[in-house]
Every structure is written in structure tokens, then in C-alpha cells.
Amino acid sequence: MWGSLISPRNDAISTPFPSNHINPVNLAPYLALPKLRNAAARTQFRHLKINMYIHIDFFDSWVLERLRHKQPKTEAMNTRKLSSRKRIALVAHDNMKDEIIEWAIYNKAALAKHRLYATGTTGALLETALDQSISKFLSGPLGGDQQIGASIAEGKMDALIFFWDPMEAQPHDPDIKALLRVAATWNIPTACNRATADFLMTSPLMHQEYETILSDFSSYTNRKLK
């Protein structure tokens, strides 16, 4: 029986069934091998294990196909489509304004493809540096962060680039936390430092349509209040 499975080229056990028809039933003879105590059986089982590692891809298609058909049916997920021309909010604390201006000038060509929004002071500085029209909200401490957060919740903002100062407390810290929380809640691309902003702006997804998956909050919105 086992002699027919020996490959004359490399003395390794060859699979007796085609790779496109893997079935657990076909593996029964192999799985019984460890129970055989004679030397020939043990040697061939070692060859079998080696051959199975080499040809493990034979099993992949069968396993993945079975898993695909066993996936439970779920309701359609909530999504939000972002256009190729993104609406980007730019925010920076006072000690970070020079850095965001330097970053924006370096990425001027990429930013020109999108619609830009910013809090008051940052927006005025960026508008001059980029020579590009920027829609401006109020200054952050005067409610600008909350205005951007509301735009995110209403689906009117697609990305947030926020150069915040980690070394200094801000008078409107609760607003900052609320803005970052809303950005996470509605799953928009968010960069909180220069390196992340670089990765974000150089991503191909930033310049094409993209569909974000939103969390299902129906259990919260439909909860019974006592």
C-alpha cells in the first residue's frame, strides 16, 4: 500500500489525491500512521509530515472554501462613502502652528486636491502660506474644535489632521478630548502628529473614493430609558 506512495525522485511520500479535491476522508490513512509501530511505517510517516508541510497549500483552498460557505449571514453594515476629494480639517495648538505650516507647505500639491477647513487662527496662517482658500471655523478655545466635531458627526468632514501639543495643558482640554472621541466614533482618518499626517497624505486611499465602516449604535439609540 505505502510503496505506491514513495516518490522515486526524492523518496518522499506524494499526495494520492489531487490538490483541488481535498477532503478529510482522504486523510484517514495518514492520520492512522502514528499507530503503526514498525520502522517502515514510522519512516514513511516522517516523510509524509515533511511532504504535507511542503504542499500545505493543497489544503488551503479546501479550508477557505468551507469557511466561506460557513460564514453566518449578517445584516448590511453601516458605511459612509468618502469622495476622492476629501474634506480635511486642520487644527494646531499655538506651539505647533509653525510645524503644521511647514508640513502644509511641503504637502501643498497634495492638499490642493482637497477641500480644507481649519480653526480660526490656524486657518488664517495656512491660507496665507498655501495661497489656497480655507473654510475657517472659530478659534479652538472659542468653540472651533466643537464645530469641527459637529461637522464630523453630521458627515460633513472626511479627515482630521490635528497637531496638538503634548507638553502643555490647554484651557479647552475637554473640547479636544471630545473632538478626538467624535473622530474615533465616526471612524474618519485622523492624524495627531507629523509622521502620521505624512503617512495619511501619501496613502493612495487618500486620493480615491473610500467607504468607511461605521459601528452599529442601534442598541444605544434604541435603548429603553427608565
The CA distance from 98 to 100, in Å, is 6
Rounded Cα distance, 145 and 150, in Å? 9
Backbone angles phi, psi at 92, to 5 degrees: -150, 135
The whole-angstrom separation of Cα 97 and Cα 125 is 8
Distance CA 140, CA 2 (A): 77
What's the grid cell of residue 167? 507638553
- The pairing of strands 159-163 and 190-191 is parallel
Three-class DSSP category at 7: coil
Backbone φ and ψ for 163, nearest 5 degrees, come out as -85, 90
Diameter over CA atoms, the chain: 85
Residue linked to cell 499507530: 35
Distance between CA atoms of 35 and 216, rounded to whole angstroms? 51
Catalytic residue among 145, 165, 173, 216: 145
- Cα separation of 201 and 148, whole Å? 20
Is 145 part of the annotated catalytic residue set? yes
Helix (H, G, I), strand (E, B) or coil at 212: strand
Active site positions, annotated: 145
